[in-house]
Chains A and B, each alone.
Chain A
Amino acid sequence: MVVWGLLVSQATANEAPERVVSMNLCTDQLAMLLAGPGQLASVTYIATDPRASAMAEEAKNYHINRGLAEEIFLLEPDLVIAGAFSTQATVAMLKRLGIPVVVFDPAYSMPDVRDRIAQMGDVLQRTQAARDMIDDFDARLRALSEEVTHSPRAVLYYANGYTSGDKTLAGEILTAAGFENAAIEAGYGSGGKLPLEVLALTDPDAVITGRPYPGASRSEAILDHPVVQDLREGRESGTLTDHDWVCGTPFVLRAIEALSTVRRDITGDGE
């Protein structure tokens, strides 16, 4: 927080930035949501991929970059926004070339999402727009967090048998939608690889998997294993994580909404 404050104060000492380049999928989306007209110059190519980006169509209106230092330098930005996982060498080189770079940390929780929106508002000098967005986010999140009488047990299960624990955005989406993350009780709360046999014995009410990529792979074939198929059969099988789950943006509310519907179908609550 302190470091971020310093960076912001440096970057925004004068005027609002007029030519902003984003080089991270999540900052792409926050910037597109908050930037003023003409303020955002370029977003990454991943932002145009509908599998990862909730704003693939909007992203096509911007110049597309591949996160390389030379192409970003040639865009002559007065501010570059990077993610904590952006290539360190690229960020270091841009800083050496005298371009102000702000680094955003990934969001791991709902409060993190609010913080990132506020941070983007400060960086782009669009504080009011950010404040409105946060108020709207809070209101919708409150509306979604209804009284849950019975929490079904769910496991997030991705390619290669990876799962998400409680200190991740996906895990927070799951609990915010009224589920209990069964990976935690199985002892895999820190995420990582959940062995298939542990999944079988956990016997969750729902298995929530990722949307398969085109082309075959052994890594995703695990989702067709008879055990996973059996766990999904007759239970909520249409539950897939998608682009709304990837980034800490207001789109996570859409993911929570969709998942809450699934929960009501399981428990027979509501309506």
Chain B
Amino acid sequence: MIRLMALLVAIVVALFAASLLVGPAKVSVADSLSALFAGDKGPLTLFMREIRLPRAILAAMIGASLGLAGAAMQGYLRNPLAEPGLIGVSGSAALGAVLAIHTGLSATFALGLPLAALTGAFLGVVLVMSLAGPRGTSLTLILAGIAISALAAAITSFVLNLSPNPFAANEIVFWMMGSLTDRSMTHVWLALPFMALGFAVLARLGRGLDALTLGEDAALAMGIRVDRLRLQLVIGTACVVGAGTAVAGAIGFVGLVIPHILRPLVGAHPSRLLWASALGGAAMLLAADIAVRVVLPGRDLKLGVLTALVGAPLFLHLILKLRRERI
């Protein structure tokens, strides 16, 4: 276990460093690191601290939230298909963010943007969990997710098309696919408090989720208050997904792929899967964000494109596997 954790931490640290050093502007490693730490090198320090650093921090933070939220939802619903992007939570968070930006709420009140996205994510989780039910099958969960995603995407596109700003309609892609291009420290500070709160809530769910693997009755007998667990899960997920989506758009499949890869390595214990998925998610999003800059520099390839290319085949594989097991 310790070895897995050390390995994941090493990967995240290496990718974080790589993220700081990769980009369309060619700057030597020594120059960029000294500008970052020593400071006061004029434009180079500004460039490292306000462009590269926030980008790397956000990739790690958002990847960790998506991995953690995916692992927690899958543990609670005992369903490997539960993932914030697929079941419409990211989509409803994006809708909340778009409404905040285009009603002017985010301009008048600094925390308006993350709070609105959080509200959207909260409504999304509540809706999908009540539609699918506590013991809902994969099918109802995915159907509920598709319905919520489609509705949220439609309203988001509608709002953006209504905007008097000619650029707004082109931003539909950003809200659906997500990107970390040209983010700044402002966005880190916007997302950080909500994410920290969500991390704190989700990280404490481990014992309850472990107990829940034995069934709801057994968990109740062990003194786990399942309704409270559900509330914590909803709030925690809404916090991390809402804050992440508000600054980077909806990025799918991270919460699906990472728990799936790591589950066998942690002996299928939901509690261990939580922190492992957080680290794995951070690594995946950092890698994806490096890849978009290496593959098509300067074209702003969306992150969701890469995560979906990896995640969608896995999703199909999971569906086939579930079908074999059920029938």
A residues within 8 Å of B by Cβ?
159-161, 192-193, 195-198, 200-201, 203, 213-220, 222, 225-227, 230
- The closest CB in chain A to the CB of B54 belongs to A226
Residues of B contacting A219 in the complex (Cβ-Cβ under 8 angstroms)? 167-168, 170-171
| Residues A203 and B163 in contact, CB atoms below 8 Å apart | no
| Residues B24 and A198 in contact, CB atoms below 8 Å apart | yes
| Residues A216 and B46 in contact, CB atoms below 8 Å apart | no
Q: Spot the interface stretch: B79-87, B117-125, B293-301, B303-311.
A: B293-301
> Does B136 lie at the interface of the complex (its beta carbon under 8 Å from any beta carbon of A)?
no
Complex Cα distance A214/B165, Å? 6
| Residues B299 and A160 in contact, CB atoms below 8 Å apart | no
Q: Given A197-B51, A225-B184, A226-B184, verify A213-B166 contact (CB < 8 Å).
A: yes
Shortest distance between the CB of B166 and any CB in chain A (Å): 6
Residues of B contacting A203 in the complex (Cβ-Cβ under 8 angstroms)? 42-43
Sorted from nearest, which 8 A-B pairs have the closest CB atoms? A219-B167, A215-B165, A200-B47, A195-B24, A217-B167, A215-B164, A203-B43, A197-B25
| Residues A197 and B47 in contact, CB atoms below 8 Å apart | yes
Shortest distance between the CB of B186 and any CB in chain A (Å): 7
Residues of A contacting B299 in the complex (Cβ-Cβ under 8 angstroms)? 193
> Does B313 lie at the interface of the complex (its beta carbon under 8 Å from any beta carbon of A)?
no
| Residues B171 and A198 in contact, CB atoms below 8 Å apart | no
| Residues B184 and A217 in contact, CB atoms below 8 Å apart | no
- The closest CB in chain A to the CB of B102 belongs to A216
Complex Cα distance A148/B164, Å? 41
Residues of A contacting B27 in the complex (Cβ-Cβ under 8 angstroms)? 201
Would you list which residues of chain B between 169 and 190 have a CB under 8 Å from chain A? 170-171, 174, 181-182, 184-186
Would you list which residues of chain B between 99 and 144 have a CB under 8 Å from chain A? 101-102, 104, 106-107
- Please report the total number of B residues contacting A with Cβ < 8 Å: 35
Shortest distance between the CB of A109 and any CB in chain B (Å): 26
Complex Cα distance A225/B184, Å? 7
Shortest distance between the CB of B217 and any CB in chain A (Å): 49
- The closest CB in chain A to the CB of B52 belongs to A197
Complex Cα distance A196/B106, Å? 23
| Residues B165 and A201 in contact, CB atoms below 8 Å apart | no
| Residues B182 and A161 in contact, CB atoms below 8 Å apart | yes
- The closest CB in chain A to the CB of B105 belongs to A216
| Residues A230 and B165 in contact, CB atoms below 8 Å apart | no
Residues of B contacting A159 in the complex (Cβ-Cβ under 8 angstroms)? 167
- The closest CB in chain A to the CB of B27 belongs to A201
| Residues B46 and A230 in contact, CB atoms below 8 Å apart | yes
Shortest distance between the CB of B29 and any CB in chain A (Å): 15
Residues of B contacting A218 in the complex (Cβ-Cβ under 8 angstroms)? 101, 167, 171, 174
Q: List, sorted by A's number, 10 A–B pairs whose CB atoms are closer than 8 Å.
A: A160-B167, A197-B51, A200-B43, A200-B51, A215-B163, A215-B164, A215-B165, A222-B182, A225-B50, A227-B50
Residues of A contacting B44 in the complex (Cβ-Cβ under 8 angstroms)? 201
- The closest CB in chain B to the CB of A218 belongs to B171
Shortest distance between the CB of B54 and any CB in chain A (Å): 9
> Does B23 lie at the interface of the complex (its beta carbon under 8 Å from any beta carbon of A)?
yes
